[in-house]
């Protein structure tokens, strides 16, 4: 029996299918395969070989496009979703595009699902943050993992989703009912809706349902996820985006894994919170600045490298190069928090909230149209991926 909160979610998804939906054909499947393979390899550092000869269980498969890719890679796959039409669509997709007979579908909620088997990979993407108690769903999903198996979790991040959650609240403050939420979202957040439609191929109404109408969104912080992993003997393997960790707070190779960096995660989350579409801009900016920095850094290192008692360093030259490097670094503005203009983002947030208090939709719209940071581009980096490996050891 579904709980009331689950039923509310199910009803929204019965009306509007949340999975991306373009006309599926062989070409699209191949493109998607390549995209997902690259995501797993380059971003999660989880190569395709990890799926080979493995049994995989997926929770919340939606209409099955991504599931099909996992099915083509793994030995056997099981897919669970509580929405009838999605399962039907997924079955058809598999019938048409998988020549294997190595899959099963279950029309079940996560809570209802039971199975005697354990799996090498358990995967759930974009699902459990829609539950009132996401941790209970996490606990249930990972129960089906074999020892040594991997859990791949795609879940909304609280900072990364901040702008989307604020957009939801903005609509709720300005609308009397669901129809008004739909209408107002098209007035205020049209730029965002068009952008999401362009990149995901989903229909605008489906995007509105998935973000603004779904009754529950409970994004989770990275720190919380680390706690969940620990409590359930899941060794943290990787995440995407990666959070500022070892590179800043590196330890000696032989010392035990320390968690002293976990308090600094908020640095990454701030960047996820204000992200719009600067990746490419940042890469170009970094490339230009970095070219000289790298050159000067090499110069500095060269001064001492290979020197010995007989081959002494030239202190004057060394000092000159060091000064040059320092100047270059100061001018490079290579401070992430500055580059993402976090201060200005919060200034705009402050102004926005003052306007929101007046509950005037046209003032809100005017503000958003002229803002430079808030409600621009991607509206943050919302869904994060975490991979954990099930161990027997207490972590
Ligand atoms: C946003 S979609 C994601 C679909 C797919 N994983 C993807 O990434 O494209 C969420 C899916 O999870 C399903 N879902 C949500 N809550 C669920 C629950 N408690 N039990 C089973 N399925 C659930 C919904 O029916 C929907 O198909």
Contacts of 319 by beta carbon, 8 Å cutoff, 6+ apart = none
pLDDT in tens, 9-62: 899 888 887 775 556 788 888 998 999 999 999 999 999 999 999 999 999 999
Does the CB atom of residue 63 touch ligand 1 within 6 A? no
Q: What share of the chain is helix, strand, coil (3-state, %, to 5)?
A: 55, 15, 35
Q: What is the pTM of this model?
A: 0.90
Query: If you measure from the C-alpha of residue 300 to the centroid of ligand 1, how many angstroms do you get, rounded to a whole number?
Result: 54
Does the CB atom of residue 83 touch ligand 1 within 6 A? yes
Does the CB atom of residue 62 touch ligand 1 within 6 A? yes
Does the CB atom of residue 86 touch ligand 1 within 6 A? yes
Residue 301: its pLDDT value, please?
92
Query: If you measure from the C-alpha of residue 360 to the centroid of ligand 1, how many angstroms do you get, rounded to a whole number?
Result: 35
Does the CB atom of residue 209 touch ligand 1 within 6 A? no
Split the chain (395 residues) into runs of 10 and give each run's mean pLDDT: 87 80 76 94 95 97 94 96 94 89 96 97 97 97 97 96 95 96 97 92 91 94 93 95 75 68 73 85 75 86 88 91 88 75 92 95 96 95 96 77
Nearest CA, atom 8, ligand 1:
125
Query: If you measure from the C-alpha of residue 209 to the centroid of ligand 1, how many angstroms do you get, rounded to a whole number?
Result: 13
Q: Which CATH superfamily is domain 4-159+217-245+382-390 in?
A: Vaccinia Virus protein VP39 (3.40.50.150)
Structure token pair of residue 388: 């954990």
Nearest to 329 by CA among 281, 280, 296: 296
Residue 13: its pLDDT value, please?
87
Residue written as tokens 């599926």?
A: 24
CA–chain centroid gap for 245, Å, is: 17
Ligand 1 atom with the shortest distance to the CA of 20:
9
* Cis ω before 241 (30° cut-off from 0): yes
Query: If you measure from the C-alpha of residue 295 to the centroid of ligand 1, how many angstroms do you get, rounded to a whole number?
Result: 49
Residue of 8, 56, 65, 81 to test ligand 1 pocket, by largest number of atoms within 8 Å of CB: 81
Residue written as tokens 């050159």?
A: 295
Nearest to 217 by CA among 107, 64, 353, 382: 382
Does the CB atom of residue 149 touch ligand 1 within 6 A? no
Residue 21: its pLDDT value, please?
53
- SS in 3 state form for 103-158? EEEEECCCCCCCCCCCEEEEEEECCHHHCCCHHHHHHHHHCCEEEEEEEEEEEEEC
Residue of 9, 62, 200 to test ligand 1 pocket, by largest number of atoms within 8 Å of CB: 62
Residue written as tokens 């198996």?
A: 149
Residue 258: its pLDDT value, please?
61
Does the CB atom of residue 164 touch ligand 1 within 6 A? no
Order of strands across the sheet that contains 119-125 = 103-107, 76-81, 55-59, 119-125, 145-156, 383-390, 234-240
Give the integer Cα–Cα distance in Å for 33 and 187. Answer: 36
pLDDT in tens, 108-120: 999 999 999 999 9
Ligand 1 atom with the shortest distance to the CA of 108:
21
Contacts of 366 by beta carbon, 8 Å cutoff, 6+ apart = none
Ligand 1 atom with the shortest distance to the CA of 60:
12
């Amino acid at each position: 029996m579904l709980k009331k909160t689950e039923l509310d979610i199910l009803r929204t998804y019965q009306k509007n299918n949340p999975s991306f939906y373009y006309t599926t054909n062989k070409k699209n499947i191949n493109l998607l395969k390549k995209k997902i393979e690259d995501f797993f390899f380059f971003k999660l550092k989880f190569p395709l070989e990890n799926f080979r000869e493995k049994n995989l269980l997926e929770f919340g498969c939606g209409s099955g496009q991504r599931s099909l890719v996992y099915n083509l890679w793994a030995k056997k796959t099981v897919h669970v979703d509580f929405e009838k039409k999605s399962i039907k669509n997924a079955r058809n997709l598999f019938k048409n595009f998988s020549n294997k007979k190595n899959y099963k579908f279950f029309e079940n909620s996560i809570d209802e699902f039971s199975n005697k088997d354990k799996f090498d990979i358990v995967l759930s993407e974009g699902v459990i943050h829609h539950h009132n108690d996401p941790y209970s769903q996490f606990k249930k999903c990972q129960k089906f993992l074999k020892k040594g198996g991997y859990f791949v979790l795609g879940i909304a991040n609280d900072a990364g989703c901040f702008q989307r959650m604020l957009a939801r609240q903005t609509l709720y403050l300005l609308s009397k009912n669901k129809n008004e939420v739909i209408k107002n979202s098209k007035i205020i957040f049209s730029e965002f809706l068009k952008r999401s439609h362009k990149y995901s191929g989903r229909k605008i109404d489906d995007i509105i349902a998935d973000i603004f109408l779904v009754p529950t969104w409970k994004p989770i912080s990275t720190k919380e996820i680390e706690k969940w992993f620990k409590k359930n003997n899941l060794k943290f393997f990787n995440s995407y985006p990666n959070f500022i960790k070892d590179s800043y707070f590196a330890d000696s190779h032989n010392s035990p894994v320390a968690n002293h960096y976990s308090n600094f995660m908020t640095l990454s989350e701030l960047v996820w919170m204000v992200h719009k579409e600067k990746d490419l801009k940042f890469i170009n900016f970094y490339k230009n600045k970095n070219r000289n920095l790298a050159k000067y850094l090499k110069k500095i290192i060269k001064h001492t490298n290979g020197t010995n008692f007989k081959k002494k360093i030239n202190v004057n030259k060394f000092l000159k190069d060091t000064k040059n490097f320092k100047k270059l670094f100061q001018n490079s503005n290579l401070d992430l928090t500055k580059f993402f203009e976090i201060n200005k983002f919060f200034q705009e947030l402050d102004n926005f909230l003052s306007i929101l208090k007046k509950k005037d939709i046209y003032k809100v719209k005017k503000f958003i149209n002229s803002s430079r940071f808030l409600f621009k581009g991607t509206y943050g980096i919302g869904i994060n991926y975490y991979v954990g490996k099930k161990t027997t050891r207490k972590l």
